[in-house]
A and B are shown apart, each in its own frame.
Chain A
Amino acid sequence: MKRIMLVCLWWLGIACASPVSAEDLFMARSNQSFPETMLALQQAIREQGYTIARVQRVDIGLTTMGYQTDKYRIVFFGKPEEVKQLTAAYPRLIPYLPQKISLYAEGEQTIVFTANPAVFKTMYSEDGLTPVLDRWERDLRAIIGAVNKLD
């Protein structure tokens, strides 16, 4: 494991002091069915100027392998030019790109969730990332908020 570059622990003091917070996760409960919520989610993502890259069908993989599951999908999205610039300027962000939002069916309702981009401020020290993370946070609040209002 010596070759693994655990790049820097600059945030150690901050992170140790921060409690688990309800704001670390953005979650919404949609009163609409899974397919309707999926459509609304993708629409909300596009309205914030993002491109949908693809949808990972987690439930299909599980059921194909013989496991029972409710519907469970992950929507990947990003802004093409932004992804290009960020991966060049901040390669340590690469494992977290494209951005994603997950959703699963809970009975007749649907749960939608993602990480609050603000949590990445404690993970990345790079100058210039804070405005990007702040904007992502605003965008995701709008996206998750739109889904949460679905009745």
Chain B
Amino acid sequence: MIFQSQAGASGAALYDAHCAVCHGENGKGGVGVPLSLPSFLAGADDDYFRKTIRLGRPGRVMPAFDQLSEDEVSAIIAHIRGWSEHEPVVFSSTWQAKGDVTHGGLLYQQYCAACHGKHGEGGSGTGVTFSRPRDLPIIAPALNNSGFQAAASDQMIRQTLMHGREGTPMGSFLEQGLSQQDIDDVIRYIRSFGGEQPEHKPGRSDDAVLVVESSSSFEDTVEALRQTIVGENFRLIREQSLDKGLVAEGHENSKQHIIYFCNFSFLNKVLAIDPRVGMFLPCRVTVVEHEGKVLLMTINPLRLSQLFNNAELDKYCKEMLQLYEGLLEEASL
């Protein structure tokens, strides 16, 4: 569980409290990427971990843990280091690769873009859960992410490009015939992504709920909603009063009527983007009679999406918002 800072706790306890739920208790990955991969631990220095914990990855699920003290961050890093027999590597944070950004761009598109994206946007989905087979446990990092750009030093990127990451699809560029200068050119190109990433601000200016007043009676509105949902190729999965299961049968408030529905293809896609979308599920609209008005109400998925720090999910939430708006509009006529 993600709790507030726990001064004095051991690295294991802190890892368990803040990291294990996503990265797995032994760092094998889950919603978060695997951390215990030996080649990763051998190729990432403490500064990379420290900045990653502090800054997170805006729009890429990993939140910023700015509530932890320096000692707590160090304790977590030490715990993660315990999974490897390698001595921690130390990279210079000031050394900068010198290279030709144009040539680096050509090489990047040839060797890197297939996995890391044309603009460094990274692979799709979250860590491993629901997103990919568990025997392919690495999502290609978003190299254009401001968190990555801040956390990874040029030396660390160079080391990764030169030697690859054993156990992942990331191969050695040296073995693929690139020279050290070619690699430095690629680093310069990766650095050129730096200022291009738009700030991640999902749905913050949207209301929490969508509400439309119907011009029809309660019963007619329920029927119109039903027809609209089916007309939009959703499958009706359940209808009930809001308090069904909470109050004795026969005592439900029939003027708070929920219609649940689903597009399973859409759901399957979104689960691969972030398995925690259960918070949005199932799709639902509630028809309510309140103070003489008939209202159609539902959540605003774009407003909720801000909880997830997942820019990819935001796109689907925008789509869902438009669908909800269309449903409410049509069913209320």
Chain A contact patch, size range: 35 or more
B168 sits at the interface (CB 8 A): no
**Which residue from B4, B267, B307 sits with its C-beta under 8 Å from A62?**
B267
User: In angstroms, how far is the closest chain A Cβ from the Cβ of B128?
Assistant: 9
B7 sits at the interface (CB 8 A): no
Contact A91-B295, Cβ < 8 Å, known A53-B246, A102-B279: yes
Q: Do the beta carbons of B332 and A24 come within 8 Å of each other?
A: no
- From B69-77, B106-114, B174-182, B203-211, the one touching the partner chain is B203-211
B81 sits at the interface (CB 8 A): no
Q: Which A residue's beta carbon lies closest to that of B202?
A: A20
- Looking at B264, B265, B282, B288, the one whose CB has the most chain A CB atoms below 10 A away is B264
**Which residue from B22, B31, B201, B271 sits with its C-beta under 8 Å from A16?**
B201
Q: Do the beta carbons of B1 and A76 come within 8 Å of each other?
A: no
Closest 6 CB pairs of A and B: A102-B278, A53-B245, A123-B208, A65-B264, A20-B309, A22-B63
Interface residue ranges, A against B (CB under 8 Å): 1, 3-9, 12, 15-16, 18-29, 31, 51-54, 56, 58, 61-62, 65, 67, 69-70, 72, 74, 76, 78-80, 83-84, 87, 91-92, 94-98, 100, 102-104, 106-107, 109, 111, 113-115, 119-120, 123-124, 141, 144-145, 148
Mind listing 16 A-B residue pairs with CB under 8 Å? A4-B328, A5-B212, A9-B205, A20-B307, A23-B4, A53-B243, A67-B264, A69-B268, A78-B243, A87-B253, A91-B290, A94-B209, A95-B210, A96-B299, A102-B278, A106-B129
Interface residue ranges, B against A (CB under 8 Å): 1-4, 18, 20-22, 24-25, 30-31, 56, 58, 63-67, 129-130, 134, 200-201, 204-213, 237, 242-247, 253, 256, 260, 262, 264-265, 267-268, 271, 275-276, 278-279, 281-282, 284, 286, 288, 290, 295, 297-299, 303-304, 306-309, 325, 328-329, 332
